[in-house]
Chains A and B, each alone.
Chain A
Amino acid sequence: MVLDTSLGNSGSYRSIIAEFAERGYNIHPEAVEIIRKRNFENAIDEICKVLGNCVIITPEDVLKALEILNIKNDGKVGVEDGVKTKVEKIVEKFELKVRDITGRSSCEGVVDDFIQNFSSRYEKIRKIFRGRINSIPIASLKKVNQKEVSIIGIVTDVRETSKGNYIIEIEDKTGKISVLATAKLREVASELLGDEVIAVSGSFRNNMIIANRIVFPDVPQNDRKVEKDFGMVFISDIHFGSNTFLEKSWNAFVKWLNCEVGNEYMQEIAEKVRYLFIAGDVVDGVGIYPGQEKELEIFDIYGQYEEAGEQLEKIPKRIKIILSPGNHDAVRQAEPQPALPKEFADLFPRNVKHVGNPAWVDADGVKVLIYHGRSIDDMIMKIPRLDYSDPSGVIEEMLKRRHLCPIYGGRTPLAPEKEDLLVIDEVPDIVHTGHVHTYGARYYRGILALNSSTWQAQTEFQKKVNLNPMPGNVPVYVNGKLHRLRFYRSS
């Protein structure tokens, strides 16, 4: 159920044909000539809008369209009496509930914070297992006289033995134990990341559990079919201020939201958009990596957010924007991140709601879990079958483990808050991530897992590490359907 639609810039004879083809039209060569000669490339969207449902566009059609559109010979669309789209509807009341760290950060940087944080993780996930697993504390393993035992613990270490089996070290609050994974369980064990909470059943021998079952907390099948007649748009990693920011693609996107481009169907979608989610990296930031000053267009962090504010101002006010920060934003990098501080948040228009990272957002009954996705790097590193070309696979692994960032000590810094807000304690309808600049979408047990791409071209660094971004790919969810819109075409 993916609709592919391309918008963007045109140019040559061939590209004009392509532009029309992508909008579902065939065009007569002479008609192409007219458009090309008179430099009407920028008006293709308008032309299509006027033309409606014809299949082949003739030169006459074009001339007529141009007349209707009152296009001057300079190719600019007449504004006063042209076909200007229906103006914004009056904004209804949004029903928005947010849960995040903002304003209630408790960490003070002492060792107790870390202990409490991990115990919160353990307890929360242990609750998820309740009813399914009848576990006993590790310390009492020696006391019970059972053939088969079950424990719930946090993975501390995974080692491969010389024979290809795995020894998993697991802790709970009472002690730790080694678990041997053989045969079929090897595969499961090899994909353990460390620091996730799992349940293990098996026989206890020689101070070790020989596992016959390794269970992830996982999510139950989500049968709550969310079919709302409003649209939700998901983007991330805009990187305002970077010299590789893709201005043209971004402008095309904004125009689309304003119902100024796209065919009728696309306009219809645009009209329905009620929520825009931004999963972090709104700006490129300053001092994020060494030598960043060489890749910036705007050197001032306030300047970058001012630009961001001005750009988001162009988005119709009927759309509620939910903005969560990422690792390039001006908040602490350690996760969970609070929402942007007031001095930056104030630079945005009023329809922007600033939330933390991660944040649980209940938008008119749709439960969206928004997370920037820094841990995707760590997880792809550990599980070889995962790949940057489809980051939604990583989200699936997060859901399985019921944690947004299972690995401790990797690239993702952790703020030791008393409550572990990275645990996926509820079952969301949609999980939205970004960070890796590629597009990915899939359903996992009825949950829509989305990774929105970026508005930044490939950077020098990404070139080096063989990371190919897919800029300008935008997932739009409306009426239970997912559309993928493309606003970027590589030259």
Chain B
Amino acid sequence: MNATLDRFFPLFHQEPEDDLDIKFLKEIKDYHSLLLKKVEEAYHVAETARSKGLDPERRVEIPVAKNMAERVEKLIGIPIAKRIEELEESGLEREKICFKIAEEIIKGEFGKFDVERALDLAIRSAVAILTEGVVAAPIEGIARVGVGNNYDGSKFLKIYYAGPIRSAGGTAQVISVLVGDYVRRIAGLNRYIPTEEEILRYIEEIPLYKKVANLQYLPSDEEIRLIVSNCPVCIDGEPTEDAEVSGHRNLERVETNRVRGGMALVIAEGIALKAPKLKKMVDELKLTGWEWLDKLINKESKKEEKKDSNEKEEIKPKDKYLSDIVAGRPVFSHPSRKGGFRLRYGRARNSGFATVGINPATMKITGDFIAIGTQMKIERPGKAGGVVPVSTIDGPTVRLKNGDVVKINTIKQAEMYKDRIDAILDIGEILINYGDFLENNHPLLPASYCYEWWREEVKNILHGDFRNIDEDEAIKLCDEYGVPLHPDHTYLWHDIDLDELIQLRDYVSEKGKIEGKYGKSCLIFPLNRDIKTILEKILIEHKVRDGFIVLEKWKVFARCLGLDGSLKKIRDVDREKDVLENIRYLSGLDVRAKAPARIGARMGRPEKAKERRMSPPPHMLFPLGQSGGNTRDLKNAINYMKSYNSAKGEIEVDLPVKICERCGKETIWSMCECGGFAHQAYYCPRCDRVLKEERCPRCGGEANGFRRKKINVRELYEKALENLGEREVKSAIKGVIGLTNKNKVCERIEKGILRAKHGVFVFKDGTIRYDMTDLPLTHFKPSEIGISIEKLKELGYSYDYRGKPLTDEDQIVELKPQDIILAKDAGEYMLRVSQFIDELLVKFYGMEPFYNAEKLEDLIGHLVIGLAPHTSAGVLGRIIGFADVLAGYAHPYFHAAKRRNCDGDEDCVMLLLDGLLNFSHQFLPDKRGGRMDAPLVLTTILDPKEVDSEVHNMDVVESYPLEFYRATLRYANPKELEGVIERVEDRLKSERRYYGLRFTHDTDNIAGGVKVCAYKSLKTMQDKVNAQMSIAEKLFAVDEHDVAERVITTHFLPDLIGNLRAFSKQEFRCVKCNTKYRRVPLKGKCYKCGGNIILTVHESSIKKYLELSKFLSEKYNVSNYTKQRLMLIELEINSLFENENSRQIKISEFF
């Protein structure tokens, strides 16, 4: 324990790294100020442009928030940032701040509100604080807060949850309930007293939600009863699903019979799942009335005790990841099966944070189904991970068609062998970091014996690099220094049994011969099927030549079998010992287990890098009604004539009502033709009047901010072209049918013209986005991201990660937290976006161009906004390079700031200036969830302290200590090693959180591997399934019969049944105007336009998987039950689609 003393006496030992620290610290400070400077530049440009009044608002609508407090304030809209900062500085915990702020809101310290409003704000603020002001849950997940009446006359608090509460996560959901309880006491409300009927309603409704949507955890009926009857706040919700409860309907105090998703989430994934955490908070706050939580927790702990008592059970194979298998997405390994992924611990410079590292050769060998960024569903420790290429771990071992068994470690070899493979005996290693085990609270599994472990064991004895040593040296090291056998020469002895060992040993000793020439020797013996199988099990490379098995590397093998140089037996096998012990005994070598733990995996969803397109994708947010035709093309609209004698291009659409402040005319734009600014006005459809206020003074009804107007798009288009000085655009200029925002606010046609010209598409909020799968990166080589040393230095990078000055493009450099590497395709799209923005600035706003980018490299150094779905806070990023992958590499901190990990999810980037210029709140749809996935605020400098805490568990060390590897052998809880392996969390309080992270494994190239998953490149489902099955047949770790059965029962059958049911209840639509009909019109024609009516569910879409399913069920001999289900479905399909009256009559029937 001497080592720990160093920590207490840093003065004695001036670490050379301190100097480095100062260098890096300065670099990061410069980096931050550089970012801020560039943000300011962009804001300045945008402010100037928007002040011209050509957009819905005359100011930039994405405010900057420097920290969590400001984000919360901007989300909620009351001045609480300062107070939150004060409380944070006083050292109060995040959870307590929630309660404090909530209390102060009720007490009116941030303004006077009526009770319901105050309760509402208090609860929302608490959720916002707990979710760092990033996710949309506080504004979208809580529909409203109300006060209900108990039957004893008292009043209680109701919280109406909505679907987006999901994004808040369990803890924040629970906090909202707890804060609700806390504030209702202050406001003097009683607790909620449910009736028996109401309790039963919850018991029926929550499982129903699980059925129609999804729940991670379904509480038992007793648990639901316990929660509902005791929870002091009424957990209510908006209806989110179409499904209705059938039992407990029309209850007086439950406003809907439909399923309330938000409610189900809060009870099931919130209270039931987070009861221990809730209990802890309740205790700390000394809240009464929550004693029942003990019962909920006890139930859980009982279950856990059970688990603890038979620890081994926990480590049993888990097949959950196979349960929602999809056709065409292969299984790579059945749970914990031999031949499956061998677990190797570590974090590569491009892994960690819910990713799995795979050797690029494995990607190729598995039929290209694993690409960089492809999501893999895994058996453990978590549920899924994004795939990253790590070339320094083992690839697969395969048997070729000629019988040779070879290890494949590079993509080049894989390419060479891929058509000659007969079977994949072992799929290779999978790299998972310690932090992911900790994050998932999963017991550590025994580590494979690998080079890192071996290195740790011998580091005090041997010095130098022993990465690629030959057999002779490996044996020599063992014999001379008594170190364990090198992992490269360790075979999978534990995968055979004692009889097999004896059989192999006897055979080799009797029949084996050593042959050699030119100083090279090999072991040969006659080909024998059983013996070959054993060799394949222990995964030793060999060849088959002229009826003989040839082992080129045989010395360690013979030694392990206890045979001497002439293959004579030295000792006898000890039947009391297991195989591995016998190997050690026979060889006198310390031989370790090479693959004690295997990880099952299947393909999840494919990787993605694609521009965001709505369907159909518009170039502008401008309504064309039906005049644009099916393509919504402005070019069609300008020739549209409603009737024979109406003007060309005249259309009637809903548009905003605005009144010019100068000339008093009505217009649709914020700036009138006369140059004056216009303000929003309202229109009462009943009284046909334009008003100033939202409520009609005459009829008292609500007025709209829009009305149906006749406009001439031909004139508007020609005017726009003239404004821009553009000539006709060749391509289509697509608009929308109508707008979904409250006042039907639309964009100027000029923007659409320019977007169409550059081939970019607009999203519903006015921005142009590019979606990419998230992948992590902490260190890069300039050469792999296409950036020169000079450029890199300009951007503030002066050293490699070890502090050496940058000179070589292959040096490894630590990535700065907000720098991102775009997919190459993303770069090309963004280049077009930048050109669109530049033209917009020059031709529309009359300003100077900003980007001046002509080629990809010109985008380097420019800023973007990263934004994840379900969130509403963008994160500032900077482009520093491009990688030829279909994913976006960025610092784990950056992803965490967007509240994402890298388990296969995707999110988007947009150019900063695009967001600032074109985004407007007024474009956002006026419906639940409309404000999600919109950049409502922008985080400029990200602080790892304020990002999703999952990333705090990522380890940042160069090597794992011996203690760790030993702990894995006893299935230790990863918590035991907290503090032993440094994680981000250990650095949060120091500036070192920004730099000096380390990794355990290097990789050749972050883009080296399969680029496009075969799932995407194969076109038909038939091809995909064939490929999936052919891989299943080749992989030793996969049972193809089980795959076929699962594909049929979990994908094809539900699809067949679903479509079949849908057919008999289908809606109809008009082929011409697309009007939907619940039932076919009796007239047989569209009532609106007289067009023909067509089906929405066709025979072909029902039948599409029938033949394939039948083929699979026959070829892979699935269970009788499944076969019969298929048979019945076919019977049903035939009965529905074959007319029994008009069967074809055979000629023979006439005779």
Contact = CB atoms under 8 A, between A and B. Distances in A.
Given A114-B1068, A464-B204, A466-B248, A332 B1125 contact: no
A171 B1082 contact: yes
A410 B207 CA distance: 21
A414 B1125 contact: no
Interface in A110-129: 110-111, 114-115, 118-119, 122
B1135 interface: yes
Interface in B1017-1064: 1053-1054, 1057, 1060-1061, 1063-1064
Contacts of A171: 1081-1083
A109 B1099 contact: yes
B1131 interface: yes
A175 interface: yes
B1120 interface: yes
Contacts of A173: 1082-1083
Interface in A276-308: 285-287, 290, 293, 299-302
A466 B204 contact: yes
Contacts of B1129: 287
B1080 A384 contact: no
Given A109-B1099, A286-B1128, A464-B203, A299 B1082 contact: no
Contact of B1078 (A119, A122, A409): A409
A111 B1082 contact: no
A312 interface: no
A241 to B, nearest CB: 12
B1079 A111 contact: no
Nearest to A333: B1132
Interface in A143-165: 153-154, 156-157
Interface stretch (B399-407, B492-500, B561-569, B1138-1146): B1138-1146
A465 B247 CA distance: 5
Interface stretch (A98-106, A251-259, A362-370): A98-106
A467 B247 contact: yes
B1120 A299 contact: yes
A106 B248 CA distance: 40
Interface in A318-362: 330-334, 338, 341
Q: Identify the interface centre among A110, A301, A464: most chain B CB within 10 Å of its CB.
A: A464
Contact of B1065 (A174, A286, A332, A413): A413
Interface string B784-801: 000000000000000000
B217 interface: no
B1042 to A, nearest CB: 16
Contacts of A122: 1082
A105 B1124 contact: no
A106 B1095 contact: no
A333 to B, nearest CB: 6
Interface in A362-391: 377, 380-381, 384
A266 interface: no
Contacts of A483: none
Given A330-B1131, A466-B204, A414 B1065 contact: yes
A22 interface: no
B195 to A, nearest CB: 14
Contacts of B1057: 287
B1064 A287 contact: no
A413 B1061 CA distance: 6
Interface residues of B, number: 52
B166 to A, nearest CB: 23
Nearest to A465: B247
A176 interface: yes
Contacts of B1079: 118, 156, 195, 408-409
Contact of A414 (B204, B1064, B1137): B1064
Nearest to B1100: A109
Contacts of B1095: 109-111, 114
A122 B203 CA distance: 42
Contact of A332 (B204, B1083, B1094, B1135): B1135
A11 B440 CA distance: 55
Contacts of B1125: 286-287
Given A301-B1128, A332-B1131, A384-B250, A106 B1141 contact: yes
Given A300-B1124, A381-B244, A466-B204, A106 B1082 contact: no
A425 interface: no
B151 interface: no
B1111 interface: no
A356 B638 CA distance: 58
Contacts of B1078: 156-157, 408-409
Interface string B435-461: 000000000000000000000000000
A157 to B, nearest CB: 8
A107 interface: yes
B1136 A334 contact: yes
A109 B1083 contact: no
A105 B1121 contact: no
Contacts of A156: 1078-1079
A375 to B, nearest CB: 12
B200 interface: yes
Contacts of B1063: 109, 413
Contacts of B1081: 171, 176
A415 interface: yes
B1061 A299 contact: no
Given A330-B1131, A414-B1064, A114 B1141 contact: no
B1093 to A, nearest CB: 6
Contact of A111 (B249, B1080, B1135, B1141): B1080
B1084 interface: yes
Contacts of B1053: 287
A341 B203 contact: no
B250 A413 contact: no
A153 to B, nearest CB: 8
A229 interface: no
Contacts of B1131: 330-332, 341
A172 interface: yes
Contact of B1068 (A111, A153, A334, A338): A111
Nearest to A296: B1121
Contacts of A466: 200, 204, 247-248
A193 B1063 CA distance: 21
B1131 to A, nearest CB: 7
B292 interface: no
B1087 interface: yes
A103 B1140 contact: yes
Q: Identify the interface centre among B1082, B1083, B1125: most chain A CB within 10 Å of its CB.
A: B1082
B298 interface: no
B852 interface: no
Contacts of B204: 464-466
B246 interface: yes
Nearest to B1092: A111
A30 interface: no
Contacts of B1064: 333-334, 413-416
A268 interface: no
A451 B1068 CA distance: 34
Interface in B224-247: 244-247
A187 interface: no
Interface in B1060-1111: 1060-1061, 1063-1068, 1078-1084, 1087, 1093-1095, 1098-1099
Given A408-B1079, A416-B1064, A466-B200, 14 more contacts: A108-B1137, A109-B1099, A111-B1080, A172-B1082, A286-B1121, A287-B1128, A301-B1128, A333-B1132, A380-B246, A410-B1065, A414-B1064, A415-B1135, A465-B204, A466-B247
12 contacts: A106-B1139, A106-B1142, A109-B1095, A109-B1137, A173-B1083, A333-B1061, A341-B1131, A381-B244, A384-B250, A409-B1079, A414-B1065, A464-B208
Interface of A: 103-111, 114-115, 118-119, 122, 153-154, 156-157, 171-176, 195, 285-287, 290, 293, 299-302, 330-334, 338, 341, 377, 380-381, 384, 408-410, 413-416, 464-467
